Amino acid sequence: MTTFIMMAAAAVAVCTLAWFVSARASSPAPTGVPGHAPQQLDRNDFRSPESPLLIAVFTSATCASCEQVWAEVRGFDSGSVAVQNVEVGDEPQLHARYRVDSVPLTLVCDAAGLVTLSAFGPLAPDDRATLHALVSAAL
């Protein structure tokens, strides 16, 4: 009888663990709300998901201010900071997934994907100061 109870308990534990793992693996990635910046990104959607900081700039090839923002942030790329230009013509699935419908949109997120800075349009002085502080902290 004791053996049966131990086997049943082990079976329940294995089933619970399997359910937890499958539920976690199948959870949908965070998505954005149209007209608002996403609050979280799935880091696996972007380059270098293991780096402590990601700067993702959602752009369009026909947008002059997008070029300006990209020129401003691309120099932050390092081993600790991944920087990615998410151009709508090259990566429309990411624009759709996160419902980005206005560009340029600069997002800075941590290793877990939590967005710590979001800025529509050219970077304002406060955005630049915050960006520099976040990058310095990641280095």
Residue 27: the pLDDT is: 45
pLDDT at 137: 87
Asked if residue 69 has pLDDT above 90, the reply is yes
As a 3-state breakdown, the chain gives helix, strand, coil percent values, each rounded to 5, of 45, 20, 35
Residue 87: pLDDT band by 50, 70, 90 thresholds? very high
CB-CB contact of 39 with 115 (8 Å): yes
Would the pLDDT of 105 be above 90? Answer: yes
* CB neighbourhood size of 65 (10 A): 14
What's the order of all strands across the beta sheet hosting 53-59? 81-87, 53-59, 105-110, 115-120
pTM, two decimals, is 0.75
Beta bridge partners of 55: 83, 108
Q: What is the mean pLDDT of the chain?
A: 84
pLDDT at 30: 55
Domains in the chain (CATH in brackets) are 43-138 (3.40.30.10)
| pLDDT value at residue 43 | 95
Average pLDDT rounded to a whole number, residues 119-135: 90
Burial bucket for residue 50 (CB in 10 Å: 0-12, 13-18, 19+) = exposed
Alpha carbon distance 28, 124 (integer Å):
33
Residue 67 exposure: Cα atoms within 13 Å on the Cβ side: 4
